[in-house]
Amino acid sequence: MTSFSARIDTCVVFFCVLFVAVAVPWIDKPGMQTDEVLFAGGIYPPFDERFVVRVFDHEIAIMVMSYVGALKAHIWAAIFTVWPPSPASVRREHSELALG
């Protein structure tokens, strides 16, 4: 590995650690912003009838709104079965997923 490549790797690791260090103090603060929880529209009914598929008498959202898919909502629904919805659970998972 060249020294330039090593410097790039070190820089990437530094910024990842910096991101987490800046995010952690804000994780449990109240006041969720709309863009943090936009996916909730695909988890909790009532769903917009235009963006729903019925499967075995269950409504499954395929879109949160006309330009936002529901994949993130389905992923977060699974996460919320382990950690109850709260500002800390939403923000902590976002911070951890950003590092992956």
Concatenate the DSSP letters of all residues of 40-89 into one string.
GGGTSSPPPGGGEEEETTEEEESEEETTEESHHHHHHHHHHHHS-SSHHH
Q: What mean pLDDT value characterizes the chain?
A: 78
Cα of first residue to Cα of last residue in the chain, in angstroms, is: 23
Q: CB–CB of 22/41 below 8 Å?
A: no
pLDDT band at 84 (very low <50, low <70, confident <90, very high): confident
Phi, psi of 84, rounded to the nearest 5 degrees: -60, 150
For 7, 13, 58, 63, the CA distances from 52, given in Å and listed in that order, are 48, 41, 10, 7
Model confidence at 10: pLDDT above 80: yes
